[in-house]
Chain A
Amino acid sequence: MTGAAPMIALTPDAQFRLGLYLHEVRAAVARVPEVNPDEIEADIREHIETEFRDAVRPVTLAELEAVLVRLGPPAQWVPSAPGSAPPAGPGWSPRAWLRQAVHSAAGVLWRGPEDWRLPYLAFGVFALGVVAFPLFPLCLVLSYLLARAARAVAAEKGVSLGARRWLLYPPLVLVAVPLLLAGLFGPVVPAAAGAAHELAEADQFRTLVVVRPDGNLASARPVGDYEVYRLGVTRGPNGKWVIAADRRAYYEALNRYTDAMPGPRGLAHALAVVFAAAGALAAWWVVLGGITWAAPVVPRAVLAPLADGFEARHGRRMFSWAVVAFVLWCGFAYQLAGAAGAEPGAPARPVAPPPMTTK
């Protein structure tokens, strides 16, 4: 009853009743070696899930009870356990009964360790990595794969993991959490870093170097040719310094964007980066929401067990909110563009010129 797949929402009393019923199920089938209690419990859970697929949540006790009545008392599902007592009648023989009893015991023994083998192995490899720390990355990957295999085996059998999940969670969670963070924010980090870099360069363009009308270069500090070249300032054929027009327009646009931010220059710069990152995040989540909406199996597979309950509706919700956020961001960006001035050469925030040296 523990560690089962996430179920539909039930009221507390219905949840309690379901727990009792599943306990009855396990008790009824536990003595029958021909069946797998975990599998039957999983089947019953799926049955109940399907019954309430379109029901209003949370499901009440009365609604649940109606389904349980249709399922019937678990005690009546199975005959008395074969091997539990010598059957009476002319067909009975001690040898046949003994064979049945041995078969039953072997079945029980086989079923138990088999289901635990992979979880123990996964945890053992993980623990080895913790003890022998230099091996940790290798052990983590190996134990993660073993844990995924254990989950796949349990899923294939249709059984719940129960207490075994605690053996599987350490490697699974340790891999899934970074994957989750990378999936949610990964692409935004380089975008924000790129925006910060570009804005810093644009700021340098404004404050570090000036090409004088006579074609000489003045700079706030000694600068190398490469640093100057990187800002789009190059020497012309006549030996005079010139600034590439497209680079100038680009940097001026970025500077106007920064200048449109409130606060002093340092804060405005930080806000500009945050704003760019927010836009990238919203756009990325639109994509992410769309992907997970169309294929909810992807997050379930990649982020197991963190996203076991992920369904298409979660992806749809993420997509919808991200679209709203992105539209709002576009609105702000449009206003910002208006405030920054559309034309190159529009008045920008005055910046105190640094003392210049001539190159």
Chain B
Amino acid sequence: MDPDFLANWTTQMRKGLLELCVLAALKGRRLYGYDIVKRLAGVGGLVMGEGTVYPILSRFKKEGLVDTALVESPEGPARKYYQLTPKGRLLLARMLAAWAEVRDGIDHVAAEQLP
């Protein structure tokens, strides 16, 4: 087996999951970019580079999945907060359902005993 296979596979998996995690982080609340990054960075192995999150947020915004709002901060300049739009909430629900289906499927296959 290619020795880089696992590393490449892990990287691809993380990239795929990161978008789900960004949406999930915003479920039911609004967060500013830095806060999202730090929350996701706290999930072991999920975020390779913290900056990776910002292009995803920018793309989500352009696709109408998230909204932004500038909110005054007592600690300095105004902060840009992100929150899910109805479209984003709907997509998140579908992604979570799909993720649960995949996870359960994998668990089921892994647990399946040969007769």
Contact = CB atoms under 8 A, between A and B. Distances in A.
B70 A156 contact: yes
Nearest to B34: A50
A76 B49 contact: yes
The secondary-structure label for the interface of chain A is helix
Interface residues of A, number: 34
B115 interface: no
A35 B70 CA distance: 19
A74 interface: yes
A156 B82 CA distance: 11
A70 B50 contact: yes
B6 to A, nearest CB: 18
Contacts, number: 83
Contacts of B37: 47
Contacts of B51: 25, 44, 47, 71-72, 74, 77
Contacts of B63: 34
A316 to B, nearest CB: 12
Interface residues of B, number: 28
A315 B96 CA distance: 48
B34 A36 contact: no
Contacts of B72: 297
A46 B59 contact: no
Interface of B: 32-34, 37, 41, 48-52, 54-55, 57-59, 61-63, 68, 70, 72, 74-80
Interface of A: 5-6, 25, 29, 32, 34-36, 39-40, 42-44, 46-47, 49-51, 53, 70-74, 76-78, 155-158, 297, 311-312
